[in-house]
Structure 1
Amino acid sequence: MGAFDWFWKAMGAQGDRNDKRSRGLVDDAEARAEELSGLDDATLATLARQTVDDGAITDKATFLGILSVASTRTLGMRPFTVQLQAVLRLLEGDVIQMATGEGKTLVGAMAATGFALTGRRVHVITVNDYLAGRDAEWMAPLVEFFGLGVGSITEDKSADQRREVYRRDIVYGPVNEIGFDHLRDNQITHRDQAVQAPAEVALVDEADSVLVDEALVPLVLAGSEPGMRATGQITAVVAHLEEDTHYTVDDDRRNVFLTDEGAHAVEEALGLDSLYSDDNIATVLVRVNLALHARALLIRDVHYLVDEGRVQLIDASRGRVADLQRWPDGLQAAVEAKEGLAVSDGGRILDQITLQALMRRYPMLCGMTGTAVEATDQLSQFYGLGVSVIERNNPLARFDEEDRVYATMKEKNAALIREIVLIHETGQPVLVGTHDVAESEDLAAALQERGIEVNVLNAKNDAEEARIVAEAGDVGRVTVSTQMAGRGTDIRLGGADERDRAEVAELGGLAVIGTARHRTSRLDNQLRGRAGRQGDPGLSLFFVSLEDDVVASGGAGEEISARPDADGRIDSRRIRDFVAHCQRVTEGQLLEIHSQTWKYGQLLADQRVIIDERRADLLDTDKAWRELARRAPERAGELADLDPAVREQAAREIMLFHLDHEWSEHLGLMDDVRESIHLRAIARETPIDEFHRIAVREFKELAQRAVDKAVETFTRVTIDAEGVHLTEQDLARPSATWTYMVSDNPLSGSGNSVISGIGNIFR
């Protein structure tokens, strides 16, 4: 037995025991459901609460049986055995993997109801407004059966409406809205202004997307103030630089570097003695690097769209426009300048939090997705979560064909089109998964030239998603889509009404074709999962070339010999194994990037916890008044005749203003440090160590500076019966604030483009 074999064997044995125990409990639950079905609604609801003692479920079989009966009565949906098993695993804190079409929505609602019955408020985290609103309304009868409240948070709700919803037992909401509300609550000066109420459980839908793919995306609350931007002059200078002469790009095309010749060219064009002087290194050089990154690494219609004079980022893991996302101020401005658009204002960062830090705030975390197993390492390493695989209700009937590998991208694309035409001629519906907008449009045009009518689904026409997806399984349909069709969709054979279901099933069901392998097998499996729903027949097939990004990146430095046939195809087990090896390498690279990026963010996340605790202390006690009165007793004496509540609130507002301002300054400083930290390597310093050293040093000074400035303000600001008049001292909070998500996601990337990934400029 190998050194670690005993560990994996023990882990497997533990998992088997959990599965056997779950199956036994579910069998008992189904038997109990038959017995309980004769009870009236009120008796069932009462019995459910009687199975809970001190927040713990004492009789899980009865508890699940009651949930099953309630679902059948209120929704007309009797849970399958596998759904009950999934509910049990969620209640025990796992991330569950359930295949497409297996009923995750009902499972999530039953588990959320179960948590709420134990006295814990639940946030069901979705990926968009539509799903939050739909699922809350759809599942409401089940929740309300037990006298519980349910609602949804959507972008259009007012603060008062949100406040009311957050106090319900179960709250459905998009992750960004819940995060932004958390940030806004961190700007309040009186507890009554808070919108959110504490929640003990986060149940995350599409868990791998939220907890892994987008885990390091910061949610940002900003206030008006100009930020760093690339000037038009710098953009023009960089536009004339040539690759390999003036700059080089690394093999992954994630980083770009000026050569000595390039630095001299920039210095000459800008009239500078040295880009690397103390005066220029933190300003001009950073702007040059940002402009160079925008020019060399970010491609229009791959990484972003330009629509109505605005740059819109594309979320590569979903293939959609990321409405709220933007790059860090400097890079956003550099891309806008590159495209000749009006350069948007930056702004002071008032507060920010990554999705990972947001999710880790919940005492209990669980989730569900169709592709969790491939993310097991990340879920375990960053959240301490286990994964439970839930078997299908009906056996999988989809045929997953071996990859077809070609020597060149040109030969692969020709074969891809031939295969689509061939399948289409039979009438079998085809869904083609591409990696970016440009590729989807090029492929659709090529198919249309051959007389095939094509539905295109990408970030440019996502408003038509429901119609396109509803039709994708009908006879003769050809749908070309980005990763949009990979999540949250249910393609029914024979069309939305399944009118031609029998005919499509006879033809072999939906055929799913991938134009290239992704950098992670999870995204491949999401695409495969569009076919084979609930035991339906189906086909999945991926085309690969040795020039694809995943092969070029994962196989960098490795020599591989192959003999293609006349069409360029390489039919070799050894080559297919090599492609799989390349994908595993890129998955390892992504995990390492995630780990490194996490290290940069974790210290700030820890510091943020300290700030949050300090804020709560100031909000909920009279500590602000006591501290200021101790530091400035004469001023406190002058205010002795004021209503104690008024002077305490005045002290609170003063201390919170300076605490928030210093934290904002700290975030801005560390953002600047992070943009230029790679320059520390020039001085033979380790970037991450230097980042931590600066962050710790600056944070130590932050707390003292906030108190000192609060005391200074306390001694000179007007405080009367109406409260503190901070505006008289130009200490008002920003009158305009806005929220956005910084797209700092190294996991984004295409598999078929010449340049892959939006890059991680902070690595």
Structure 2
Amino acid sequence: MFNALAKTIFGSSNDRYVKSLKKTVDQIAAFEPTISAMSDEELANQTVKFRARLADGANLDDLLPEAFATVREAAKRTLGQRHYDVQMIGGIVLHRGEIAEMRTGEGKTLVATLATYLNALEGKGVHVVTVNDYLAARDCEWMGRVYRFLGMTTGTIVPNLSEEERRAAYNADITYATNNELGFDYLRDNMKYEREQMVQRPFNYAIVDEVDSILIDEARTPLIISGPTDDKSEMYMAVDVLVKQLVEEDYEKDEKQRSIVLTEDGTERVERMLEDAGLLQGSNLYDFENTQVVHHVNQALRAVFMFRRDIDYIVKDEKVIIIDEFTGRMMDGRRWSDGLHQAVEAKEGVNIEPENQTLASITFQNYFRMYPKISGMTGTASTEAAEFYDIYKMNVVTIPTNLPIQRQDDEDLFYKSLEDKFKGIAKTIAEHAAKGQPVLVGTVSIEKSEMLSEFLKQEKVPHSVLNARFHEQEAHIVAQAGRLGRVTIATNMAGRGTDIQLGGNLDFRINDELSGMAEGPEKDAAIERIRAEIAAERQAVLDAGGLFVLGTERHESRRIDNQLRGRSGRQGDPGLSRFYLSLDDDLLRIFGPDTLFARMMRSSLEDGEALPPSKWMSKAIETAQKKVEQRNYDIRKQVVEYDDVMNDQRKVIYEQRSEIMDSETVNDVVTDMRHETINAIVGEHCPPGTYPEQWNVAALKEELERVTGLKPMIDAWLHEDHVDPEIFVERIVAQSDEALAEKIGDLKPETWTQIEKSILLQNLDHHWKEHLSTLDALRQVVHLRAYAQKTPINEYKQEAFALFQRMLDSVREDVTNTISHVQFQMDAAPPPLPDLPSFLTSHVDPFTGEDDTNDRDFGSDGLISTTIPRLATARPAADGAANPYADETISRNAPCPCGSGEKYKHCHGALA
């Protein structure tokens, strides 16, 4: 009570902070008369002046008022848009490394130009991160007019760019890209063998658009680059057949935790079935020999009984495609890990693709925390403010709207059953559409959107369905969702980034209706006609009450509900929003109030009747959502905790790789590794403080010959007066130095350096890949340590550290072994460093459902042989030549059959 009273008198801390920024806005306004009077040439020259001031010792804060005023004037001249004062506040917040929460329609894209331009003056590069390729390309072209007018360069990172094009885009002053492209480029860069091959430059500053989606929703799944492993499709199919025979009594399912386990009776039944199928060794499912079988059974249980078609995934073109739970869009190319995707493929009877082994991975949390400064903008961030500060150390600042909000947010309506609810929704939509009010309907799954579509057909209501099946039409459908009487069914956040303008979107209508018309007076007249039609239709929509946003059920996250609500009431427009719920909704069924609430509703409601709106009921729903949000936060926090352990190790490996690539010579590193390996071998077989008769001399000689190729006279040394392991080490080291010096004596120094770098990097990558696989396996089982009253994360840290030490020892030994046994061609030129191994990227952009970074990139196999190979490259077809593979069905991302090592689409496929 006292807090509310204090807030009424003094304002909230957010209000006071925003008010304090108005002094800076006044300073910006003071520059406006001067800057408005400048010619275009003088205005463009401001960038040169700002950079000169930075070189003389000024900082970005000193330049902010004048720089922001410059951008405001440039936007007026290039875009015909002038930044509002509240947008200036948003720009200041972004520059300070905070999150600007701005309502839908308040012009976040334009706000970003302020902080982007100011920070790009340093010449270190600014990344503007968007949620899909369409927005990255659109915003770079659209806002790029401002930057280019002011003499800055821009670049866009989208799929299918060449390495040179990516490098040029990253070297631009301002780079627009999706979060996935940035992350995968970082991982790919750290798999390359020469600094010149890398495309990114050091991190500087990033502005993340729709920051809640990228840093919260997508943060539960890391970016993974993986390579194929052995095919186990027969095992998946065999286990799937057995699991489908189980009944409810054989397993226990927890929908809240999304877990499923066999009961005691179920375990016995599965054991008997596996025995009969010849898949079980012994008679106990949980014997060590059956570890793989248990894994397959667990994944088949989840696939068959937990994952639902048309909700969690769809089957399209004989492929299982994941549906993103936040956007309802197809994530073509994204695959569940750890064999789950293969289990779902077996369940649906489609072709089972082989599992993949992780070659490199990183979470978005750890990727974006590498930027010295990061900021973000979104319409909904305050509900996750604690997480943003906890994980990223970013404060959320709510920016006031330019015009007061006139949208009316009604209390939720409750129905007894799903059918009653959809009947009520269909009638409501029909009523509002009949009076000309546009309706945007938000659903949580494809299944629900198609079900509602059937109800609307019964009511004879014309409508558009926008979901994962039709995402290609998304921007066009959403852009016109504000037209008179238009009914649009959208899955969750579909169309985010495209404004819904009442009366229709002028640009989209021009593009759709006049794209084939030549420029001239006729087209100009047609544009004016469309503009007049939109103005008249807008007034009719305003008279009908503005956009009506109708939610068919509450999402697990209040933030997603707020995003849907925020579609209505942009820039002071009137609007209406309301959510419809039933006891069959997942949120109420799994996380909702107790059975007393359910019994009360069932007993007091007639079929088809809605419970009167109640603040108490809405509060109960909000409580349920908070429970889920906290649980999801805990999951994300756990992902970060575990990835932090790997991240420390990742930094060490990537820094080591960078040092190797940048060094003129790595001879000292290789020599130290050889000496340490010899010391370790001698120490293992001749432990300090022991007597010579306790030493395992035979094993020592055998191990030295295997690793170093040497046959030292250890038997003779044992008869000397002073026998000591340290003397052994000194003599063997000296002998190995002599042997290597003799071997490389005739080689050119640059050739030997290239060989050493190649061996070092390939060994490092091979062992890092194996280490990642081991950590994956450890993470899956370490939670069992809790039964022994141990903290799993602490156990994981200890085990991971020990495994990392072991990995470094293995790298040293293998490098020594390879260099000791490698054979050289004395007249050979320095061998080329190998290409990247074959890999597959996963975690495609859920906002597009498409991502061509999900390519198989074929190069060398990445393995070290005893002779450093020369990599032959086949000659691509000559320009204008016919494609000899035109009649064959070849994936565009597959390697070209000609053997060039290029993808088909970049080689013979490009000729078609």
TM over 0.5: yes
String of CA shifts for 1:321-379, please: whole Å, max 9, x gaps.
12342110411111111111111122332111111111111111111111111121111
Which residue number corresponds to residue 877 of structure 2?
A: none
Matched to 1:606, the amino acid is D
| Cα distance between partner residues in 2 of 1:94 and 1:606 | 26
Distance (Å, rounded) in 1 between the aligned partners of 2:405 and 2:546: 12
Verify: 1:625 aligned to 2:667, yes or no.
yes
Moved more, 336-345 or 29-38: 29-38
User: Structure 1's 120 and 192: CA in aligned 2 closer, same or farther, altered over 3 A?
Assistant: closer
Label 1:240 to 1:54 Cα distance change in 2 as closer, same or farther (>3 A): farther
Distance in 2 separating the partners of 1:347 and 1:54: 51
1:500-649 equivalences in 2 (<5 Å) = 500-555=537-592, 557=594, 559-560=596-597, 562=600, 564-566=604-606, 567-571=608-612, 572-622=614-664, 624-630=666-672, 631=674, 632-633=736-737, 634-649=739-754
Confirm or deny: 8 A CA contact 1:98 1:369 kept in the other structure.
yes
The offset of 1:175, in angstroms, is: 1.1
Task: State how far apart, in whole Å, the 2-side matches of 1:428 and 1:167 are.
Answer: 48
Distance 1:329 1:608 in 2: 21
One-letter amino acid of the counterpart of residue 502, structure 1:
Q
The Cα offsets for residues 285-328 of structure 1, whole Å up to 9 and x where unpaired, read as 11110111111111111111111111111112122112342110
Give me the CA root mean square deviation: 2.7
Question: What code does the residue aligned with 1:118 have?
Answer: E
The one-character-per-residue Cα deviations of 1:408-451 (angstroms, maximum 9, x if unpaired) are 33332332222222222222111110000111011101111221
C-alpha separation in 2, matches of 1:20 and 1:37: 26
**Match in the other structure for 1:26:** 25
Cα deviations by residue, 1:460-506 (Å, 9 ceiling, x for unpaired): 01111122113211112111110243621211111223351111111
1:98-497 correspondence runs (5 A): 98-226=102-230, 231-243=236-248, 245-252=249-256, 254-271=258-275, 272=280, 273-281=283-291, 283-485=292-494, 487-497=496-506
Q: Helix, strand or coil: the match of 1:274?
A: coil
Secondary structure of the residue aligned to 1:487 is coil
Pair 55,636 (structure 1): closer, same or farther in 2 beyond 3 Å: farther
CA distance in 2: counterparts of 1:734 and 1:141, whole angstroms: 37
Q: Kindly provide the CA deviation profile for residues 683-737 of structure 1, in whole angstroms up to 9, marking residues without a partner as x.
A: 665544443333222112111111211111111123456467799xxxx776522
Q: Deviations over 1:592-635 (max 9, x none)?
A: 22222322222112221121121112111256321223425232
| Residue 142 of structure 1: how far off its partner (Å) | 1.4
Secondary structure, counterpart of 1:195 in structure 2: coil
In 1, Cα distance between the equivalents of 2:257 and 2:478? 34
Task: Choose 1 or 2 for highest CA Rg.
Answer: 2
SS at match of 1:57: helix
Task: Choose which of 56, 59, 64 in structure 1 pairs with 2:60.
Answer: 56
Unaligned runs of 5+ in 2: 507-533, 675-735, 847-912
Structure 2 CA distance, aligned partners of 1:379 and 1:709?
A: 43
Q: Secondary structure at the match of 2:575?
A: strand
Aligned-partner SS, 1:290:
helix
What percentage of aligned pairs have identical amino acids?
37
What SS is found at the alignment partner of 2:100? strand
Q: Distance in 1 between matches of 2:156 and 2:454?
A: 41
2:568 and 2:31 map into 1 onto residues whose CA distance is 35
**Equivalent position amino acid for 1:162 in 2:** R
Identify the match of residue 698 of structure 1 among 784, 790, 803.
Answer: 803
- The offset of 1:153, in angstroms, is 0.7
Choose 195-204 or 228-237, whichever is displaced more.
228-237
Q: Retained in 1: the 8 A contact 2:71–2:113?
A: no
Aligned partners of 1:742, 1:684: CA distance in 2, in Å? 39
Q: 1:285 to 1:682 in 2, by over 3 A?
A: farther
Distance 1:471-1:101 versus aligned 2 partners, 3 A rule: same
CA distance 1:164–1:227, shift in 2 (3 Å): farther
Residue 739 (structure 1) aligns with: 841
> Tell me, what secondary structure is at the counterpart of 1:119?
coil
Instruction: Work out the number of aligned pairs and report it.
Output: 736
Cα pair distance change 1:162/1:59, threshold 3 Å? closer
Which amino acid is the alignment partner of residue 48 of structure 1? F
Please give the alpha-carbon distance, in whole angstroms, between the structure 2 residues aligned to 1:539 and 1:612. Answer: 52
Provide closer, same or farther for how the CA distance between residues 352 and 369 of structure 1 changes in structure 2, counting only shifts above 3 A.
same
The amino acid of 1:34's aligned partner reads P
Letter in 1 for 2:273: A
Q: Are residues 247 and 291 of structure 1, via their aligned partners in 2, closer, same or farther at CA, if it must alter by over 3 Å?
A: same
What amino acid sits opposite 2:610 in the alignment? R
Code of the residue aligned with 2:274 in structure 1: it is: L
1:251 is displaced (CA, Å) by: 4.5
Does structure 2 retain, via aligned residues, the 8 Å contact 1:224–1:734?
no
Task: Give distance in 1, aligned partners of 2:773 and 2:149.
Answer: 49
1:146 offset after TM fit, Å? 3.0
> Following superposition of structure 1 onto structure 2, how do residues 66-105 of structure 1 map, counting pairs within 5 Å?
66-105=70-109
How far did 1:139 drift? 1.6
Counterpart in the other structure of 1:673: 778
Q: Which has the higher contact order (CA 8 A, sep 6+)?
A: 1
The offset of 1:558, in angstroms, is 6.5
Which runs of structure 2 are paired with 1:38-57 in the superposition (5 Å)? Answer: 38-39=37-38, 40-49=42-51, 52=54, 53=57, 55-57=59-61
Q: Distance in 1 between matches of 2:555 and 2:217?
A: 13
User: Counterpart of 1:530 in structure 2: which amino acid?
Assistant: R
Q: Is this contact kept in 1: 2:478–2:495, CA < 8 A? A: no
Instruction: Give the residue type in structure 2 aligned to 1:440.
Output: S
Aligned counterparts of 2:571 and 2:264: Cα–Cα separation in 1: 60
Deviation at 1:652, TM superposition (A): 1.2
Give me the whole-angstrom Cα distance separating, in 2, the residues matched to 1:43 and 1:159. Answer: 32
Q: Kindly tell me: are residues 680 and 332 of structure 1, through their superposed partners in 2, closer, same or farther at Cα, counting changes over 3 Å?
A: farther
Query: Is the CA contact 1:235–1:334 (under 8 Å) kept in the aligned structure 2?
Result: yes
Partner letter of residue 238 of structure 2? Q
Question: In the alignment, which residue of structure 1 is the partner of 2:679?
Answer: none
Question: Larger deviation: 692-701 or 707-716?
Answer: 692-701
How much does 1:681 deviate? 5.3
Structure 1 residues 673, 8: closer, same or farther in 2, change over 3 A? farther
Structure 1 residue 12: Cα displacement: 8.2
- C-alpha distance in 1 between matches for 2:485 and 2:12: 47
Cα 1:219–1:722 shift into 2, 3 Å: farther
Provide closer, same or farther for how the CA distance between residues 399 and 619 of structure 1 changes in structure 2, counting only shifts above 3 A.
same
| 1:344–1:676 distance in 2 versus 1, CA, 3 Å | farther
Contact 2:191 2:836 in 1 (8 A): no
Match of 1:750 in 2: none
CA distance in 2, matches of 1:346, 1:126: 30
Given that 2:44 and 2:151 are in contact with CA atoms closer than 8 Å, whether structure 1 keeps it comes out as no
Partner deviation per Cα, 1:79-112 (whole Å, 9 max, x = no partner): 1111111111111111111111111111112321
What one-letter code is carried by the residue in structure 2 that aligns with 1:620?
D
The 3 A distance-change label for structure 1 pair 12 and 385 is farther
Between 531-540 and 673-682, the greater mean CA deviation after superposition: 673-682
Secondary structure of the equivalent of 1:280? helix
Quote the offset at 1:638 in angstroms: 2.5
